Amino acid sequence: MRKADREIKDFNEVVDVLERCDTIRIGIFGEEYPYVVPLSFGYEVIDNKILLYVHGAKEGKKHDLIGRNSKVCIEADICHRFTDTGHSVTCEYESIIGYGEAVKVFDQEAIKGLELLVAHCGFDGYPINEEALKVMTIYQITLEYVTGKRRFV
């Protein structure tokens, strides 16, 4: 990281940033260009690893590209404000970037992933419609490497 003084080194602080984000962006190997798509997500931490859960239709570009290469990059950020430092305008922010593999999950793992997703979206305990699971794919992304960065003036 070029600006090492901005690095978030504590894993729990990285998780805290993720908790406060409402959207992640997932970068997928594309055909000619990378493909990036914003997604709602849920997550859990197991053995100091972040496991993300995202969903989508059983068909479509995201689904096709992950089928070809399941390695992904995720990004999440919080822009707190733009501010004048006296010599420039800058953003006060917190962000994370992580790398992992998107793997389809099924049955109880898919239900758990969807429960975590709706809980993170503010609907903890919302009943999961198992019929809806028949028309969607739930992916679990275990972040093998994650880093965080922040800047406050």
What total of structural domains would you count in the chain? 1
Work out whether the CA dihedral 52, 79, 150, 91 comes out positive or negative: positive
Range in 2-11, 63-72, 80-89, 91-100 the model is least confident about: 2-11
Cα 33 to Cα 44, 49, 67: the distances in Å are 31, 29, 16
* 128 three-state secondary structure: coil
User: What's the half-sphere exposure (Cβ side, CA atoms, 13 Å) at 135?
Assistant: 3
pLDDT, residue 152, reads 86
Q: What's the CATH number where 105 sits?
A: 2.30.110.10
Joined tokens for residue 129: 């419609």
Kindly report the pTM of this predicted structure. Answer: 0.92
Residue 101 lies in domain: 4-151
Which percentage of the chain shows pLDDT scores above 70?
A: 97
